[in-house]
Structure 1
Amino acid sequence: MARMRVNGQALEFALDPATPLLWALRDAANLTGTKQGCGGTGQCGACTVIVDGSAALSCTLAIGTLEGADVTTIEGLANHPLTLALIAEDAIQCGFCLPGFTCAVAALLQQSPRPAAEQIDALPNRCACGMQPRLRRAIERVAGAGAPEPSPTPPAPPQTPEIVSPPR
Structure 2
Amino acid sequence: MPPIELFDSATYSIQFQVNSEWRKVRVRAADTLLDALREGLGLTGSKSGCDNGDCGTCTILVNGLPIKSCIMLAVEADGQQITTIEGLANSPVLQTFAEKQAFQCGYCTPGFIVNCHGLLNIHPDANEETIRIWLESNICRCTSYEEIREAVKSVFAAHSADGAS
The TM tier, using the shorter chain, reads 0.7 to 0.9
Aligned residue for 1:14, secondary structure, equals strand
Is the contact made by 1:113 and 1:144 (CA closer than 8 Å) also made in structure 2? no
SS of the aligned residue for 1:92 comes to coil
Q: Which amino acid aligns with 1:20?
A: T
Q: 2:16 maps to what in 1?
A: 4
2:9 aligns with none
Choose the corresponding residue for 1:57, options 68, 74, 86.
Answer: 68
**Greater share of residues in strand:** 2
What is the CA distance between 1:21 and its match in structure 2? Answer: 0.5
Unaligned runs of 5+ in 2: 1-12, 161-165
For 1:12-161, list aligned pairs within 5 A. Answer: 12-38=24-50, 40-122=51-133, 123=135, 124-146=137-159
- The size of the alignment, in residue pairs, is 146
Aligned-residue sequence identity (percent) comes to: 37
Deviations 1:67-124 (A, max 9, x none): 1111000111111111000011011210011011111111101121221223222231
TM-score (norm 1): 0.82
Amino acid in structure 2 at the alignment position of 1:109: L
Unpaired runs of at least 5, structure 1: 148-168
Instruction: Indicate the SS of the match to 1:61.
Output: coil
Greater displacement, 92-101 / 107-116: 107-116
Considering Cα pairs closer than 8 Å and 6+ residues apart, tell me whether 1 or 2 has the greater RCO: 1
Deviations 1:43-83 (A, max 9, x none): 11111000001000000111111111110001111111110
| Partners of 1:64 and 1:104 in 2: CA distance | 22
For 1:11 and 1:5, locate their aligned partners in 2 and report how far apart those are by CA, in whole Å. Answer: 6
Whose helix proportion is higher, 1 or 2? 2
Tell me the distance in 1 between the aligned counterparts of 2:112 and 2:80.
21
Match for residue 157 of structure 1?
A: none
**Cα RMSD after superposing both structures:** 1.4
3-state SS of 1:145 partner: helix
